[in-house]
Amino acid sequence: MPTRLYAYCMTTAAPAFLSGLTQLPTLTTLRLRLRWLTPADVPALFTIFSDPAVMRYWSREQFTSLAEATELQTQIESLFRERSLFQWGITHLTDDEVIGTATLYGLHAAHRHAGVGYALGSAHWGQGYASEALAALVRFAFTELNLHRLEADADPRNVASRRCLEKQGFREEGLQRERYFLYNEWQDAQLFGLLRSDYDAQQLR
């Protein structure tokens, strides 16, 4: 789920964001690099998004063919050109293999808000990587894009994702009951929000 990515892709484009750039800037953290995805990353995207554990609480069911990963990579490029979706590949600093993605979706220039999403291949869970990538995403969204608000939703059962959001200061804002129909069941969506003012206050602590 943004987490619940694709449902939001068609919102108002934001042409002012990073105008002139032909690809996303690379973001670097202590252990990770968030970089532009290319067609060479399609097999890695397939590995991530065909993993049932990764896709258990995502906004669509797991990929079953490489073609779906190809379509995702193409969509990432075209939605970047519209400035409505920024999706980075996450790699270790020590190599260039994509182990996950970090996303700003539904970018809206007038309201200055976006959703955040992240997914890591399950082989890389539990080492603080998602928190590290999300911190970089949040910092970029507020300080470089000058957004006012970030939002996310997570299945209430997705404890790891909820914890990632809480660690960055996101606050719970409500529950949408039976928001998604996936794997033959209705799934609830817990809503989270983080304001620029919340972020600024955290930096002063």
Ligand X SMILES: CC(C)(COP(=O)(O)OP(=O)(O)OC[C@H]1O[C@@H](n2cnc3c(N)ncnc32)[C@H](O)[C@@H]1OP(=O)(O)O)[C@@H](O)C(=O)NCCC(=O)NCCS
Q: Does 57 bind ligand X (CB under 6 A)?
A: yes
The tally of CA atoms less than 13 A away on the side-chain side of residue 140 is 23
The smaller minimum CB distance to ligand X, of residues 16 and 118, is found at: 118
Which value, to the nearest 10 degrees, does the dihedral of the CA atoms of residues 67, 33, 59, 127 take? 120
The single-letter DSSP state of residue 26 is P
Nearest CB to ligand X, comparing residues 109 and 193: 193
CB nearer ligand X, residue 23 or residue 127? 127
* CB within 8 Å of 100: residues ≥ 6 apart: 48, 89, 90, 118, 119, 120, 121, 124, 129, 130, 133
- Report the SS3 class of residue 143: helix
| Count of residues near ligand X by CB under 6 A | 24
User: Tokens for 132?
Assistant: 């590290």
Our CB check for ligand X shows the closer of 42 and 154 to be 154
- Provide, rounded to whole angstroms, the least separation between the CB of residue 142 and ligand X: 20
Question: Taking CB under 6 A as the criterion, which residues in 107-166 touch ligand X?
Answer: 118-120, 125-131, 154, 158-161, 163-164
For ligand X, the binding residues (CB under 6 A) are 1-3, 54, 57-58, 118-120, 125-131, 154, 158-161, 163-164, 167
